[in-house]
Structure 1
């Protein structure tokens, strides 16, 4: 079978450790492994708020892609590139939307409306749309007018964990997510402060994606008297993160919104019970038997859930077993690439 060659246009450094970049890096490699001639086109790192130079460079680069190739275009570009410029692209476009930019946390109404209008207009120019979850697909059909027949769900793959669980004492609460307001680490810190009398230790892994917010988190931890029990680890090597997963007893992420959340799959595959928030795609990703979900922005409810799991060993063990069982059923990255390959091969010129 002849596989459609393609260009994957991604702004910024593809080695960035966020769920979206991890997904796209693994998808690029997976499509190459599946037999596609895949080129990586790096766009400017100022997206989704591009400088004039990065915006112009992106239009020039995208319009230069030959029509015999497909163009997979990362969602960070969709809310910030001129639809008139994107309309000049002759290659068939596949939009890669993890979650719409207009759904980001902390936007003012003017910025939100601009992103929504631009994303909606640009999505009309995509022949096909790849999304990681049914939740994102539903948003695009309901709010953005994308026909269901143009959308394909390609769930992220999961690497099987290396080594056996080796939980430490006091129990380790692990949180993984960039230091950005959407991830809700501030809520987690306030929840941990409410259960200060319970034995636990916590590690928050994730790069300082928003430096000002990262500084605020460090100050919150200090003000709450948590500096000796909470480690804001920042970005860590893969082997260090794997060790944290083995040592943890609970995975907790107080996210305000997720279009999918690869870290939940990682926690399931490691057999960790999950405490998170009932928002976005989280309820579809975390099985009821493997986790406790609370309303977002509610540190009291989050503290109660943490207290329950820390004090109820049998419940924690049942949830750990359910998590491990769910983790064994998760797709691999070859499955993600196979789905995306089918999308590329059915494109028309």
Structure 2
């Protein structure tokens, strides 16, 4: 089978979506799929007219005998005419709908949702990265369930983190600094815990939403937490492994997740979690692995953090459940096998 994987922007970018694409390129050949990467313009999901014209030309050049899978960061923003320019059937890879990004105006949300609904109607196959996203696409975007396949992100096995008794609790949050990730809510929650002994490292790009990152720095300073919160920016895989190994609690304040790869990376290491349950995160985080709180609620997040920071025994109990759950996660070869099977199966 010959597959062209079309991805917009910089494939090396340190986000979950780009990591997913890189892993498909690495693991699909073992599934009998000859896959090549087709770079698309980096303007998506807000493409300029020139971006759309270039994309139409690139899609038209894909050989008719190949399968074409387009990453959702671009696919959901493609007009029907651009999709129709492809000379072969087009499948969509959807991590989460574009219109579900936090901070959009109601008008922009409506435009994105309507555009993605029209685009998905033209897809020969839709690959969703979680069961939640699959249900959402069927219920809200009119995609027939028979056309949807699920290929959850892989989580490679990792060394177990041994619980430490404290008293200092090292918190780790992983993910690009954008409004959807809820870091401002996390800082407000931590400001309520000045009496406890903790520190936080945020590992994630600060360039995706510069205004959000600047506001976060200002909030940290206004909360007098500069000595306790480190914005590490993007880190290498080795550095991220070291951060996980040195953490006591993994934290996510995200308002919405299409899956939550940082959550499963924490589970794979046996880290207890304090996580908001926006979107698919409610299904990604198993019961007993920590404390779940509603998204957007700083006092609830503070209460969850206090419960684990102040109670090393409870942390250890949650860590044991986290490790057990992490051993049941799929790895990237499983993800590639699911994608290959989906593209080989007629819709």
TM bucket, shorter chain = over 0.9
Q: 2:25 aligns with which of 19, 23, 28?
A: 28
Name the SS for the 1:155 alignment partner.
coil
Partner of 2:204: 206
Q: Which runs of 5+ in 2 are unaligned?
A: none
User: Which is further off, 310-319 or 94-103?
Assistant: 310-319
Say whether residues 1:289 and 2:265 are aligned partners: no
- Using the alignment, how far apart are the partners of 2:305 and 2:163 within structure 1? 20
- Hey, what does 1:97 align to over in structure 2? 94
CA RMSD in angstroms comes to 1.4
Partners of 2:161 and 2:318 in 1: how far apart?
17
Query: What's the CA shift for 1:104?
Result: 1.1
Residues 267 and 322 in structure 2, CA contact (< 8 A), matched pair in contact too: yes
Give the equivalent residue in structure 1 for 2:272: 273
**In structure 2, what is the Cα distance between the partners aligned to 1:166 and 1:283?**
24
Q: Provide the residue aligned with 2:190 in structure 1.
A: 192
The DSSP-based 3-state class of the residue aligned with 2:302 is helix
Question: Structure 1 pair 272/162, CA: closer, same or farther in 2 (3 Å)?
Answer: closer
The 1-side partners of 2:199 and 2:167 are apart by: 8
Q: Deviations over 1:52-106 (max 9, x none)?
A: 2111100110121122100001111233221122123221111100001111111
Give the C-alpha shift of residue 30 in structure 1.
1.1
Q: 1:234-263 CA distances to partner (integer Å, 9 max, x unpaired)?
A: 111111111111111110110010010100
Does residue 62 of structure 2 align to residue 48 of structure 1?
Answer: no
1:57 aligns with 2:54: yes
State the shift of 1:172 in Å.
0.3
Instruction: List per-residue Cα deviations over 1:23-59 (Å, max 9, x = no partner).
Output: 1110121112322111100001110001221111001
Q: How many residues are matched?
A: 345
* 8 Å CA contact 1:92, 1:347 repeated in 2: no
1:134 maps to 131
1:164 Cα deviation from its structure 2 partner? 4.8
1:170 is matched with: 168
TM, length-normalised to structure 2: 0.96
Partner SS state of residue 159, structure 1: coil
Per-residue deviation at 1:6?
Answer: 0.8
Q: CA 1:164–1:194 in 2, change beyond 3 Å: closer, same or farther?
A: closer
8 Å CA contact retained: 1:165, 1:247: no
- Give, in whole Å, the separation in 1 of the partners of 2:271 and 2:241: 13
Q: Using the alignment, how far apart are the partners of 1:61 and 1:347 within structure 2?
A: 25
Contact 2:121 2:143 in 1 (8 A): yes
* TM-score, normalising length: structure 1: 0.96
Shift of 1:169: 5.9
Q: Distance in 2 between matches of 1:186 and 1:325?
A: 31
- The match for 1:83 is 80
Aligned position for 1:66 = 63
Aligned 8 A contact 2:177 2:209 in 1: yes
The one of 125, 144, 147 equivalent to 1:147 is 144
Deviations 1:195-218 (A, max 9, x none): 011011110110012111111111
In the alignment, which residue of structure 2 is the partner of 1:181? 179
Q: Which residue number in structure 1 is paired with residue 331 of structure 2?
A: 332
In structure 1, how many angstroms separate the alpha carbons of the residues matched to 2:233 and 2:43? 22
Q: Secondary structure at the match of 2:19?
A: helix
